[in-house]
Structure 1
Amino acid sequence: MIRKQADSSATPTISYDTVAAGYDGAEVISDVSVDVHAGDVVGLLGPNGVGKSTLLKCAVGLLDPLAGEVTIGDRPVRSFDRDALARNVGYVPQSEPTNFPRTVFQTVLMGRKPHFGARPRTRDRQVVATLLNRLDLADLAMRDVNSLSGGQHQKVILARVLAQEPRALVLDEPTSNLDIRHEVEVLSLLRKEAPDGLAILHAMHDLTLAVRYSDWIVLLGEGGVHTQGPPSELTAKDIRDVYGIDVSIHETNDGIVIAPVDTLENYRG
């Protein structure tokens, strides 16, 4: 399931070069240098408030770095206009409210907006139809997105960003609020897309799923990157240093399992 990281000599699709970022001039995170290459899935880990979402926003133009540079290919993110950036990077935020009824087909077609002017063309509709078939959503094409289950809705959102035909995907907690079956379904879908040349950067809380579905792990601690490398190099000490808890890490036939080490005594008053 986990593949070897892409050739580091190639130009990264997304690159953070000594980036500091925050809000109202106050740094949340600093000195971050991370590369995401075509075909790679990079998992961004760390406790709440450590800066995962802040970094993701810098890659999609929602937040300007306070220092350093984020580039897509060889161009700074700030040099793209909105449509050009959307043709290069697809973004899925933590939550996305639906303000009015819309069918699944119409929702996915919105992902084509950066490619057409006033009206979608035949090719735009063909791209959507192909995606719906590929993601097993064709039977839901005329359904109102508000009537879908959580797993179905998340697949539609992924289909919409894939309809942008971007070079990279940036996803903030793409499996939040999903049950385990749909978590695996969504992550497997992403895993299948990366070999087609997509660079994928995603933030997650579930450590076991993150290491199983990522080629490279970036563990954020207080103020910056605590460690980064292949999932197999993540240690219990790294996790204890960042999260403040002890864990056990086991290699199984199905992959790595990370579990908290705890006793009932901790819960006795």
Structure 2
Amino acid sequence: MIEKLRRSRESRLPEVPAPGSTVLSVDQVTVSYDGERKVLEGASLDVRAGEVLALVGPNGAGKSTLLGVITGDVEEASGSVTINDHPSYAWNTRELAMRRAVLLQQVDVSFAFTVLEVVEMGRAPWQRTQAAADDDTIVSAVLERTDTSRFASRTFTSLSGGERSRAALGRVLAQAAPILLLDEPTAAMDIRHQELVLTIAREYAATGSAVVVVLHSLDLAGAYADRIALLNNGRIAADGTPEEVLTAERISEAYGHPVTVLTDPVSGSPLVVPVRPSRKDMS
């Protein structure tokens, strides 16, 4: 049956999603690695076109596991994942690559590919389609937007951690899929490039695509996400706007440390500040 579903859509290109429509759904997903220890339990989530959804939570909460379930990299899962109203397993590899692009935490390139070649890899799903005519234009624009064009001829392995992260981001942006899945894309970056990456995420969503991003920084999530899903102990503890999710009570409980939530005087976004002793008390 699965093969029949795959063959029936073998040449089907993705359609442009309607603004606000659900493009990806996770329903009652549970992940257990040893048959007993549940790292994710009963997780349900809808991802909508035109929004940035941030997954946040303390270490071990299940953020990357949930993203892995969505991408299909975590197989030890019960429940279901649907993409464009079809089970994720119903799409073949190429169809999935046309519909969702994935940036993992760790990106390894075994051979001496240049940054340009790595970004060009993102266009592979569109070979022998009309979209291939745009390959050069898209790759050039992505290199410029990710601030990687100045070292496009360097090998990927010669780059710093932050530079590699931007080059890897360039590859998934070049893929031009309507769903963008990013696992801690700002982890190795300085402030300037953290802001750049999440500005790009918002620009991507503004075109009608959906962006799901795992973030450790609650302040970045509050500033750039339309919605935040807070995970804690393998469950989705809250799902809503930044103002709804990033409350002092909720964050203090989830992270096991008291916080104060302020409002950024310029952007109006919530700022999460850990409660700390004064310098005098620490001396």
Task: State TM-score, norm by structure 1.
Answer: 0.87
- Contact 2:19–2:208 (Cα < 8 Å) also in 1: no
> In 2, are the aligned partners of 1:41 and 1:213 still within 8 Å (CA)?
yes
Q: Alpha-carbon deviation of 1:134?
A: 4.0
- Counterpart in 1 of 2:223? 212
Q: In the TM superposition, what is the alpha-carbon distance from 1:237 to its structure 2 partner? A: 0.9
**Aligned equivalent of 1:28, options 39, 43, 46:** 39
What does residue 159 of structure 1 align with? Answer: 170
Equivalent residue, structure 2, for 1:74? 85
Correspondence 1:190 to 2:204: no
Task: Label 1:263 to 1:141 Cα distance change in 2 as closer, same or farther (>3 A).
Answer: same
Matched, 1:59 2:75: no
Q: CA deviation at 1:125?
A: 3.3
Q: Matched residue of 1:13: which SS?
A: strand
Q: Which runs of 5+ in 1 are unaligned?
A: 1-7
The amino acid of 1:175's aligned partner reads: T
Which amino acid is 2:222 matched to? V
State how far apart, in whole Å, the 2-side matches of 1:169 and 1:123 are.
Answer: 19
Out of 251, 254, 275, the residue aligned to residue 239 of structure 1 is 251
The offset of 1:46, in angstroms, is 0.9
Counterpart AA for 2:230: L
Query: CA contact under 8 A between 2:165 and 2:188: conserved in structure 1?
Result: no
Could you tell me whether the CA contact under 8 Å between 2:228 and 2:242 is conserved in 1?
Answer: yes
Output aligned runs, 1:103-182, within 5 Å.
103-116=114-127, 123-182=134-193
Q: Note the aligned Cα RMSD (angstroms).
A: 2.6
Could you tell me how far apart the structure 2 residues matched to 1:173 and 1:133 are?
Answer: 22
Deviation at 1:149, TM superposition (A): 3.8
Per-residue displacement from partner, 1:203-234 (whole Å, max 9, x unpaired)? 11111111111000101111311111100112
Q: Which residue of 2 is the match for residue 43 of structure 1?
A: 54
Give the Å deviation of 1:24.
4.7
Structure 1 position 19, deviation (Å): 1.5
Alignment of 1:89-104 (within 5 A): 89-104=100-115
Matched residues in 2 for 1:225 and 1:156: separation?
Answer: 31
The runs of 5 or more residues in structure 2 that have no matched partner are 1-17
Cα drift, residue 181 of structure 1: 1.8
For 1:46, give the aligned amino acid: G
Aligned CA distance change for structure 1 residues 131 and 180 (closer, same or farther; 3 Å): closer
Specify the code of the residue in structure 1 equivalent to 2:185. Answer: P
Aligned partner of 1:251 in structure 2 is 263
Q: 2:163 aligns to what SS in structure 1?
A: helix
Relative to structure 1, the CA distance from residue 64 to residue 79 in structure 2 (aligned partners, 3 Å threshold; closer, same or farther) is farther
Residue 64 of structure 1 aligns to which amino acid in structure 2?
E
What is the rounded CA distance, in whole Å, between the counterparts of 1:81 and 1:215 in structure 2?
A: 30
Per-residue deviation at 1:133? 3.6
The equivalent of 1:17 in structure 2 is 27
Q: Which residue of 2 aligns with 1:223?
A: 234
Specify the alignment match of 2:12 in structure 1. Answer: none
| Sequence identity percentage | 38
Match of 2:277 in 1: 263
C-alpha displacement of 1:188 = 1.3
What is the rounded CA distance, in whole Å, between the counterparts of 2:115 and 2:106 in structure 1?
Answer: 17
Q: Relative to structure 1, is the Cα distance of residues 41 and 182 closer, same or farther in structure 2, using a 3 angstrom cutoff?
A: same
Give 1:168 shift.
0.6
